[in-house]
Amino acid sequence: VNVITLTTDFGTRDWFVGTMKGAILGVNPRSAIVDITHEIPPGNVRAGAFALMASRKFFPKGTVHVAVIDPGVGSARKMIAVQTRDYFFLGPDNGVLSFALEWEKIQAVHALTNESFFLQPVSRTFHGRDIFAPVAAHLSKGLPIRRFGPALKSFHRLVWPQPCVGRNEIRGEIVYIDRFGNAITNLRGDELPKRTTKNWQLHFKARRVCPVAAFYQAVPDNKAVAVVGSSGFLEIAVNGGSAAELFRLKVGDRITARWAE
């Protein structure tokens, strides 16, 4: 079995995702297709890049990850395939793969130009179905990546907001808000000074403060808490509620983690 994952902004209201799967199964009927999400806000390349980064490593080796958040579809933007030690990544060359690739050992980057693997006729508005889907299916069958187009020396990278480390604080920002209203920050749990010996607090929204704890129910109902979430990043949560709603948090908001020695 060959796993292919899909991350898109196509939604599930229409038939778009279904036809991508049809195109995949037409080439590789044995592939197992997994939806990461199709509800990335339309055109939000950064949100798609974050979702792919957060999910990629939970799949078996050899998985083909396809990310199509592609506001420039039909224009001259490139499409790329990237082989890493463990996975393949396919997407438009607009940075949607770049957060994930920062954590991967890259082995080859190729442009997708070999039209003999595309669904004909290729539309100008739906390369997810006509190009990425069949190429993913061929890759999942073991076709070497160089068959799909020429090697590239570089690809487009989004700038990841690096946290800023001070003497007794780290400053960062909110990078994603999930369905529960948890606000995920750019502070990685494993980059924080050892939590066992420190007394941590997270500061946000001018005067708001919350403790850093190990899980949501460590605080009473409807109280805020910062935990290292399942993606490895510190996130602001409210036990039994939505932190984003309660505190009107949004992507880009600044946060500061402080500790007492």
The site for a copy of itself (CB under 8 A) is made up of: 1, 3, 5, 7, 10-19, 21-23, 25-26, 29-30, 32, 34-39, 42-43, 51-52, 54-55, 58-60, 63, 71-75, 119, 123-126, 129-130, 178-180, 214-218, 227-230, 240
**Count of CA atoms in the C-beta half-sphere (13 A) of 125:** 2
Is the Cβ of residue 124 or residue 254 nearer to a copy of itself in the bound state? 124
Q: What are phi and psi of 247, to 5 degrees?
A: -110, 10
CA torsion 25-26-29-34 (nearest 10°) is -10
Q: Residue 205 CB, nearest distance to a copy of itself (Å)?
A: 22
In the complex, least distance from residue 179 CB atom to a copy of itself, rounded to whole angstroms: 4
Smaller CB separation from a copy of itself, 26 or 144: 26
Asked if 109 contacts 82 with a C-beta cutoff of 8 angstroms, the reply is yes
| Residue (39 or 161) nearer to a copy of itself, CB | 39
User: How far separated are the first and last CA of the chain, in Å rounded?
Assistant: 52
Residue 41 contacts by C-beta under 8 Å, 6 or more apart in sequence? 9, 47
Q: How far is the CB of 106 from a copy of itself (least distance, A)?
A: 21
Which of 109, 227 has the CB closer to a copy of itself? Answer: 227
Name the token pair of 193: 């000074």
CB of 34 or CB of 164, closer to a copy of itself: 34
Compare residues 151 and 218 and give the one whose CB is closer to a copy of itself.
218
d(CA 246, CA 81): 41
Per the DSSP assignment, residues forming a β-bridge with 35 are: 6
- How far apart CA 37 and CA 136 sit, in angstroms, is 17
Least distance (Å) from a copy of itself to the CB of residue 164?
Answer: 26
Q: What is the closest distance, in whole angstroms, from the C-beta atom of residue 206 to a copy of itself in the complex?
A: 27
Give the nearest distance from C-beta 246 to a copy of itself in angstroms. Answer: 14
**Degrees to nearest 5, angle at CA 185 with 183 and 189:** 120
